[in-house]
């Protein structure tokens, strides 16, 4: 029987090894690897309504939302005031300011509500929102960006 944790959810593989772990996770939660999927970078994996593990690359199955392997959810590295990306069941990511995490909550990540960033920065009262998923926004220096592009950035 398919576990509710993975029902109508998909997980994107960031590497071939990550893909293997995703498939193992889906099988542990009731999926059947009928097609002997190996796990490949760039693919997303999910369990169909009939219990089979499947993959896709360029589309999203109707009614499915993105999730992460439990060990991929960011934990201790987040600090109050960090810029993060958050998402709820819709799978749409939004930038917010991180405040706290409440272990055991269905939506454990607490962030400054949209439009309240200035109040937060000024130390005034502000509104908050809860989110199901949270990841730190990766930033790079101008120098690193120029190295990656192979040219100088003027602006």
Helix (H, G, I), strand (E, B) or coil at 46: strand
Query: Would you state the structure tokens that stand for residue 112, as one six-digit string?
Result: 């400054």
Residues in the chain, how many? 155
Whether 83 and 55 share a structural domain: no
Mean per-residue pLDDT for 63-89?
A: 81
- Which residues, 6+ apart, have CB-to-CB distance to 135 below 8 Å? 74, 84, 85
Number of folded domains in the chain?
2
Tell me the pLDDT band of 74, cut-offs 50, 70 and 90: low
Q: What is the pTM of this model?
A: 0.51
Instruction: Examine the pLDDT at 45 and tell me if it is beyond 60.
Output: yes
Give start and end residues of each alpha helix (H) in 29-70. Answer: none
Distance CA(94)–CA(88), nearest Å, equals 10
- Quote the domain boundaries for residue 20: 9-66
Tell me the pLDDT band of 67, cut-offs 50, 70 and 90: confident
**Helix, strand, coil fractions of the chain, as percent rounded to 5:** 20, 25, 55
Whether 94 and 115 share a structural domain: yes
Query: Would you state the structure tokens that stand for residue 109, as one six-digit string?
Result: 């990540």
Tell me the pLDDT band of 53, cut-offs 50, 70 and 90: very high
Distance CA(153)–CA(155), nearest Å, equals 7
CATH value at residue 107: 2.30.30
Pick the last residue of a domain from 66, 84, 114.
Answer: 66
């Amino acid at each position: 029987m398919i576990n509710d944790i993975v029902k109508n959810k998909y997980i994107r593989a960031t590497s071939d090894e990550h893909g293997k772990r995703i498939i193992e996770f889906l099988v542990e939660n009731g999926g059947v690897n009928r097609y002997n999927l190996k796990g490949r970078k760039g693919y997303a994996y999910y369990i169909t309504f009939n219990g089979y593990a499947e993959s896709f690359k360029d589309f999203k199955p109707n009614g499915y939302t993105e999730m992460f392997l439990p060990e991929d959810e960011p934990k201790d590295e987040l600090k109050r005031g960090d810029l993060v990306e958050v998402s709820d069941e819709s799978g749409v990511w939004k930038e917010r300011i991180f405040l706290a995490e409440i272990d055991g909550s269905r939506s454990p990540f607490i962030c400054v509500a949209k439009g309240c960033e200035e109040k937060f920065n000024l130390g005034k009262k502000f509104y908050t929102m809860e989110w199901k998923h949270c990841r730190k926004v990766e930033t790079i220096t101008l120098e690193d960006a120029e190295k990656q592009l192979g040219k100088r950035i003027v602006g």
